[in-house]
């Protein structure tokens, strides 16, 4: 993850801390204390968190450049409450939520860094 952070000039690493996720920050800080990190805690369900991001796609405000078949399959196939948790969709929702809160407005997101990191 740290290599991807530097390779793609990421602004920060986002880590979900609901299930022992404090370990993510501890591990990052142990390896490289200079990595920018922000923890997030899911207080709402995946479907609720994903709705505003889904709206961005519907409004044409968000799109992918390149091919991300594993992510796109999850985006098309996920039915809330059924099957396994969509890890790539979850990472996408957290990333776009973070970017949409920027004081400079929505930013460009290098999806290749996000997807390659999540797929490991």
Prediction pTM value = 0.72
Q: Please give the average per-residue pLDDT across 3-25, as a whole number.
A: 84
Q: Provide the pLDDT confidence category of residue 111 given band limits of 50, 70 and 90.
A: low
Q: How many CA atoms lie within 13 A of 12 on its CB side?
A: 14
Rounded CA separation 103/55 (Å): 20
Residue where the block lists tokens 């407005």 = 105
In this predicted model, which residue has the larger pLDDT, 35 or 16?
35
Average pLDDT, the chain: 81
Rounded CA separation 75/46 (Å): 12
Rounded CA separation 94/38 (Å): 11
Q: What does the pLDDT read at residue 22?
A: 80
Q: Provide the pLDDT confidence category of residue 43 given band limits of 50, 70 and 90.
A: confident
């Amino acid at each position: 993850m740290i290599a991807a952070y530097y390779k793609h000039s990421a602004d920060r690493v986002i880590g979900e801390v609901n299930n022992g996720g404090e370990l993510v920050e501890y591990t990052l800080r142990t390896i490289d204390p200079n990595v920018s990190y922000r923890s997030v805690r899911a207080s709402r369900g995946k479907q609720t968190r994903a709705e505003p991001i889904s709206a961005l796609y519907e409004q044409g405000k968000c799109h992918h450049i390149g091919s991300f078949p594993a992510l796109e399959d999850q985006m098309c196939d996920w039915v809330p409450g059924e099957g396994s948790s969509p890890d790539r969709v979850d990472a996408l929702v957290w990333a776009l939520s973070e970017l949409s809160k920027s004081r400079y407005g929505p930013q460009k997101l290098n999806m290749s860094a996000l997807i390659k990191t999540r797929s490991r």
